[in-house]
Amino acid sequence: MIESGDDFNRFDFLWLAVYFIIFVFLIKIINMQVIKYSYYREMSDKNRTQIINQTAPRGKIITRDGVTMASNKPSFSLIYFPNPQNSQQTIRKVAHLIAKYSDSDGKKIYASILKSQGAMKPVKIADRLGASSIMNLSELKNFYQGLELISEANRFYPYDNYLSHVIGYVGKIDSNDWKIYSSDLNYSMDTFVGKTGLEKLYEGKFKGKDGGLYMEVDHRGRLMRIMDSRQGVPGCDVHLTVDFKMQDAAEKALASLPYKRGCAIALEPATGRILAYAVKPGFDPNMFVNYKEDKKEFDVKFDEFNIGVQGTYPPASVFKMLSTIAILESGKVRPDETFYCPGFYDAGDRIFKCWEKKGHKEVDLLKGLAHSCDVYYYNAAYKMGPLAIETAARKFRIGLKTGVDLPGEKSGNLFGPTVRASQKSYWFIGDTLNLAIGQGETLVTPMQMAVITAAIAGRGAIYRPYYVEKIVSRDGELVTGGKPEKLSQVELKEETWDLLYKALKSVVDEGTGRQAWIKDLEVYGKTGTAQNPHGKDHAWFVAFARRVNEAPGVAVAVLIEHGEHGSSAAAPVARSVIKAFYEDKITPAPEKEEEAGEAVIVE
Amino acid sequence: MYDLGVRIKKSRFDWVLMFAVIALMVIGTVAVLSSTVSLNSQSRLIRTQFFAIGIGLFFMLVVWTLNYQIFQDQWKYVYALAILILLGVLFFGVVDKGSRSWYRLPFFSIQPSEFSRIGLVLVIANYLDKKGPRIREFSGIIVPILFSLPILFALLKQPDFSGILTTVPVIMIMLYCAGANIFHIYVILSYVLLSALFPLLWTLIALNPDLTDNGLVNLFFDLASFGWNTLIFVVSVIALSYLLWRVFLKFKPFISGIYFAGIAVVLISGFLSGIFIKKQIKEYQYKRVEVFISPEKDPRGAGYNLLQAKIAIGSGGFFGKGVFSGSQARLGFVPEKHTDFILSVIGEEMGFIGVSLVMFLYAVIMYRIKKIASFARDRFGYFAACGIFGLFLTYFVINFGMILGFIPVAGVPLPLLSYGGSNMVATLSAIGVIQSIYSRRYSIT
């Protein structure tokens, strides 16, 4: 019926076109589905998944007796899921309500919601929500579906201001921190980082690895389901050398005093471990965790000044320990040689007073130290010359930093004729006298004083003080550990040590340091009252203690600003710290023997 | 005459064709089911789909048992019905997505253009059969175009541009297969292209106001509405063509003026219909054109849809994500996933295997239709098969081309695969026509 063969060729030609079209399509499909598969797959996964960062718990800070000084508390954050169909009005209303319930700045929340809408990405708009906020926000979900509350770990310090100057605090990352941490993917603009102290020092160890919620969202960005929640890896725990009982005793003792500032430092003489480090006033690091920038009435007022290493004071009578060592080592003044103390010393052009106006009458070395007789030391210093004292001070590293890992440590000031000479200035007789009783230009930090005390307790071994015993990952793997580091060894004659110990013991037993006396223990101490031209004098007390026939276990230095008398203000603090150290170590059995031993030494 | 040497199996039903049709319907139903999981209306959609398949198969069987020649005998009624249902929808239809192209019935809606298109194919096939030799003349090619004008006009009025987009190529394919002069087809095609190009350019200018800084562009843009400009344009085109002819005469003395007149006529008529079409374009259709030209301009709009469809296909990989596991479609990233974008669902969930299988099945259908055309006992059957072949080819090319990014986003479904009752029933009826042609092929009377 169909005549023209030509017509069939046209259909065949069309069929060729079909082949060609299929060929082209096939190439395109292979290109999309096989060659560019991974690209499209990634796009598709990116489409449907949204990741919300979930902060990993920071590592804990644990004392050596197992008390946690810094842990984590769960808190809730509010996530906003954008929806392209939200009208400006809805957004404004949602922002307003969230601001109201979460107690934060509405404008800021509005801005972050707008950002979320623009990028079609869920955004964390409020964190650290309180219980009442959570209640209200849960109800808000009925009004607007795109809200989710997720739980996160937040820093929590159970003992408020204990050890606050060592631990430091965390705060929201700022532009300076960002420069340091931005290369680390674990950090985002709302991460909390350590700002001072341990928290800053070991930021990298504490941080851990953040987890995330992998959420499947639909094309409107609404949460369909949580596909995966990758648990974060908690940061490493830091174990401190600090003993909680002692810290507790020190903090409480300082707190009970009426003075504004003070500090108590306890060291282990044999290693340099810091057993307690209490600074008054401390601060509550928790307030930085809950700090909201947009709340104006919250004005952070706290004392970040760490007087333990940043405050320098004249060592005053405490320095007489070193003067005593100089006297004994120089050999120019015999220990039993006496000087008469009428309550003052006539240096020719000037009268130097003893702190006891009535005078101490005849004073030998033991009595001189026990009662801290200034006149005795004036005489002795005059006799042996200032160089011996300066040498002793140099041996005990006055004027050098202790090297403790605390920020802003001061080195104090070494004072003596050679120092004066290097400054191309003259040395006067009055300088010798001042040097001997620790006034003049000698300046020490409480930490230096603690180190010196520990060095005396340890018969000359000077250790670098440290407070991080070990850093352990959550798997129990040791990351790093602190090690005792001996800085130097002070070599003195044996009898010098013995006599010094005897003198220091008599300070506590019958002298100015009686307030530090503890039954069953041998306590060695020295009080000090640093003259302060700007106000009331500062009170010093240093001490170490041991059980009979044992090496001293603890050395303490206490400074109370404007505490006036070392004996009344500082000594009780040292006493309670030492007591706390020996509390469960004292066994009643050798009681009598100890008493007997004591009596012999006092005589 | 038919080549008697070819051996013909004595079967009345082409099972190969039928197998491909059923396979496509099965794949389509699974994809529709999977892509509508998240929709509340899923059960209703699936019910409609099965209902449409049932009705469609019934129609197919009825048409198969009927002698297809009845459509030739009664072509006037077929034609009248095709026009009437289309005109009727302009008055009684409901508006959906800006187009008045649906009859709303109690349980379902009907899109009459799907049926009119089949009717038009049959009517043109009848004309090509009866006035076969005249097709070589230009007047012979004009008549079938005149036949289709009322239908195209009604589609324009709805407006249903995708309907026009799928009808014009079918007519062209039929004319081409009937042996029309290639030059005539070129003329018609350039007319169609011109009448599409003018509104396209105007749309483009309207969307990019900064282009109007250029004086020439501005002048061109002013032509978009009827007025003195129109007259000036028409007159200058005629004058220019005449001048051009005179110039050409100097070099080649015996060139006929008919070519230049033709150019002028095509240019002017294309321009005039362009103005007319421009008036029918809806805002959202503007966007589609724009997005095709610069997809990065509107990442969340129509370009976003196309991108998401591409991501869906690409992310399926070789084996696919597994049926019911495609996140792109299920989570709503792909729009119209159960209708026009069904291919992206198949690509995502069934992978390269699925897409190439679908392509293969369409190829099988088209191949069988071509084969059956060659078995046809009369020229009417041959041309009807040509038209239905063209129908499949057009849908196939436009839909695949759209999703693969070759042509702008157009609302064209994939026959037998996409959700859509009218298209399903109309396509199955067309398959019925093919089966009827097959069962009444030359050797069996």
Question: Which CATH number goes with the domain that contains A71?
Answer: 3.90.1310.10
Based on its alpha-carbon atoms, the radius of gyration of chain B, rounded to whole angstroms, reads 23
pLDDT surpasses 50 at A114: yes
CA distance, residue B210 to nearest chain A CA (Å): 26
B183 touches chain A (CB under 8 A): no
Give the tokens for residue A111.
Answer: 């801005």
Would you state the structure tokens that stand for residue A304, as one six-digit string? 């970040």
Kindly state the tokens that stand for A108: 């800021």
Domain ranges for chain B, please list them. Answer: 15-439
Exposure on the CB side of residue B193, measured as CA atoms within 13 A: 7
Predicted local confidence at residue A448, as pLDDT: 93
- Residue B58's alpha-carbon distances to A517, B362, B435, in angstroms, are 111, 22, 13
Q: Over its length of 445 residues, how does chain B's per-residue pLDDT go in tens digits?
A: 444 444 445 678 889 999 999 999 999 999 999 888 877 788 888 998 999 999 999 999 999 988 899 999 999 999 999 999 999 998 888 877 667 788 888 777 889 999 999 999 999 999 999 887 788 888 888 888 899 999 998 988 887 878 888 999 999 999 998 888 888 888 888 888 888 888 878 877 777 777 667 777 777 777 777 778 888 888 888 898 888 888 888 887 777 777 788 888 888 888 888 888 777 776 666 666 665 555 555 555 556 777 888 889 999 999 988 888 888 877 777 777 888 889 999 999 999 999 999 999 999 999 999 999 988 888 899 999 999 999 999 999 999 998 888 887 677 899 999 998 899 999 999 999 999 999 888 764 4
Whether A259 maps to a domain, the answer reads no
Residues A111, A215 within the same domain: yes
Listed by number, the residues of chain B in 15-44 with a beta carbon closer than 8 Å to a beta carbon of chain A are 38
Cis peptide before B133 (omega within 30 of 0): no
Structure tokens given for B263: 């150019």
The reply to whether residue B318 touches residue A21, judged by beta carbons under 8 angstroms, is no
Cα three-residue angle A100-A105-A107, rounded to 5 degrees: 105
Whole domain around residue A365: which residue ranges?
Answer: 309-516+525-539
Asked if A418 and A387 count as a contact pair (C-beta separation under 8 A), the reply is yes
Structure tokens at A161: 């201001």
Statement to judge: residues A234 and A332 lie in one domain: no
Are residues A313 and A233 part of one domain? no
Lowest-pLDDT range, A230-234, A308-312, A460-464, B412-416?
A230-234
The reported pLDDT for the residue numbered B346 is 93
Helix/strand number for chain B, H first, E second: 17, 3
Look at residue A294 in the predicted model and tell me its pLDDT.
46
Instruction: Show which of residues 200-219 on chain B sit within 8 Å of chain A, judged by CB atoms.
Output: none
Does residue A501 share a domain with residue A396? yes
Q: How far apart are the C-alpha atoms of B409 and B158, rounded to whole Å?
A: 19
**Shortest CA distance from A11: residue in chain B:** B177
Residue B362: predicted pLDDT: 96
Q: How far is CA A254 from the centre of its chain?
A: 18
Residue B52 main-chain phi, psi, to 5 deg = -65, -40
Residues near A425 by beta carbon (within 8 Å), at least 6 away in sequence:
none
Residue A208 has pLDDT above 60, yes or no: yes
**Do A386 and A417 form a contact (C-beta atoms < 8 A)?**
yes
Average pLDDT of span A535-540: 86
A54 belongs to a structural domain: yes
| β pairing state of A262-267 and A237-240 | unpaired
**Both structure tokens of A139:** 């109800």
Binding-site residues on chain A for chain B (CB distance < 8 A): 1-4, 6-8, 10-11, 14-15, 18, 21-22, 25-26, 28-30, 32-34, 36-37, 39-41, 43-45, 47-48, 84, 216-220, 224
Contact A126, A109 (CB under 8 A): yes
Average pLDDT over residues A174-187: 75
Q: Which of A115-124, A456-465, B293-302, B417-426 has the lowest mean pLDDT?
A: B293-302
Judge: A8–B377 Cβ closer than 8 Å, yes or no.
no
- The residues pairing with A215 across neighbouring beta strands, listed in sequence order, are A50, A226
Asked if B294 contacts B307 with a C-beta cutoff of 8 angstroms, the reply is: no
Q: In 3D, which of B121, B127, B110 has the Cα closest to residue B82? A: B121
Cα A203–chain centre separation: 12
User: How many CA atoms, within 13 angstroms, populate the side-chain half-sphere of residue B383?
Assistant: 32
**B159–chain A Cβ distance below 8 A for any pair:** no
Q: How far apart are CA A568 and CA A572, in angstroms?
A: 7
Residue A481: pLDDT band with limits 50, 70, 90: confident
Got the DSSP string for A457-502? HTTTEEE--B-EEEEE-TTS-EEEE----EEEE----HHHHHHHHH
Interface residue B308 vs chain A (CB under 8 A): yes
CA B213 from centre of chain: 37
Q: Which of B328, B351, B367 sits opposite A47 (nearest CB)?
A: B328
Q: Residue A372 belongs to a domain with what CATH number?
A: 3.40.710.10
Q: What is the CA radius of gyration of chain A?
A: 35
Query: Which single residue is written with the structure tokens 């491909």?
Result: B20
Bigger pLDDT: B422 or A174? B422
A34–B378 C-beta distance less than 8 A: no
Strands A68-80 and A49-54: unpaired
Residue type, A393: A
Cβ pair B382:A47 closer than 8 A: no
Give residue-wise pLDDT tens across range A376-435.
999 998 888 888 899 899 989 998 988 888 888 888 888 888 888 888 888 888 888 888
Phi, psi at residue A528, to the nearest 5°?
-160, 145
Side-chain half-sphere exposure of A121, counting CA atoms within 13 A? 11
Contact B311 A25 (CB under 8 A): no
The DSSP code sequence of A174-240 is -HHHHHHHTTSTT--TT-EEE-SHHHHHTHHHHH-B-EEEEEEE-TT--EEEEEEEEPPBP--EEEE
Distance CA(A143)–CA(A106), nearest Å, equals 18
Q: How many CB atoms lie within 10 A of CB A549?
A: 10
Closest in A18, A39, A218 to B314, CB measured: A39
Select from A518, A534, A522, A521 the least CA-distant residue to A571. Answer: A518
Task: Count Cβ atoms within 10 A of the Cβ of residue A550 and give its class: 0-12 exposed, 13-18 middle, 19 or more buried.
Answer: exposed
Mean local confidence (pLDDT), A280-306: 67
Distances (CA, A) of A520 to A315, A354, A511, B35, B164: 29, 33, 18, 85, 109
Report chain A residues whose CB lies below 8 A from the CB of B351: 33
Closest-CA distance of chain A to residue B101, Å? 28
Q: B395: closest CA among B416, B382, B413?
A: B413
Query: Residue A582 contacts by C-beta under 8 Å, 6 or more apart in sequence?
Result: A518, A520, A521, A545, A547, A553, A554
Whether A1 has a pLDDT exceeding 60, the answer reads: no
- With CB atoms and an 8 Å threshold, state whether B315 touches A37: yes
Query: Is A41 in contact with B317 (Cβ distance < 8 A)?
Result: yes
- Give chain A's domain count: 2
A322 alpha-carbon distance from chain centroid = 30
What's the average model confidence in pLDDT over A522-526?
90
**Burial status of residue B159 (CB atoms within 10 A of its CB: 0-12, 13-18, 19 or more):** buried
Angle, helices B161-177 vs B138-157, to 10°: value is 160
Tokens of B181: 């002069």
**How far apart (Å, rounded) are the C-alpha atoms in residues A35 and A33?**
6
Helix or strand or coil: residue A150? strand
Measure the CA–CA gap between A327 and A391, rounded to whole angstroms. 11
User: Considering Cα of A545, then A547, then A548, then A550, what sign does the dihedral take?
Assistant: negative
pLDDT-derived band at A174 (thresholds 50, 70, 90) equals: confident
Q: Is the same domain home to A360 and A489?
A: yes
Looking at the complex, report in whole angstroms how far the Cα of residue B372 sits from the nearest Cα belonging to chain A: 12
Q: Would strands A237-240 and A61-62 be described as parallel, antiparallel, or unpaired? A: parallel
Of A548, A550, A554, A553, the closest CA to residue A597 belongs to A548
Which one of B1, B317, B331 has the shortest CB-CB distance to A1?
A: B1
What is the H or E stretch that residue B436 is in?
Answer: helix B421-439
Q: For the whole model, what pTM was predicted?
A: 0.64
Q: Is B43 exposed, middle or buried (0-12, 13-18, 19+ CB in 10 A)?
A: exposed
In angstroms, the Cα distances linking B404 to A40, A543, A547 are: 13, 86, 89
Query: Is some CB atom of chain A closer than 8 A to the CB atom of B381?
Result: no
SS3 state of residue A424: coil
Round to the nearest angstrom and report the end-to-end CA distance of chain A: 145
Question: Considering the domain boundaries, does residue A360 fall inside one?
Answer: yes
Q: Looking at residue B293, what is its pLDDT? A: 56
Q: Has residue A112 been placed in a domain?
A: yes
Helix, strand or coil, per DSSP, at residue A279 = strand
Distance CA B313, CA B404 (A): 9
Per the CB < 8 A criterion, the answer to whether A62 and A71 are in contact is: no
A277, part of any domain:
no
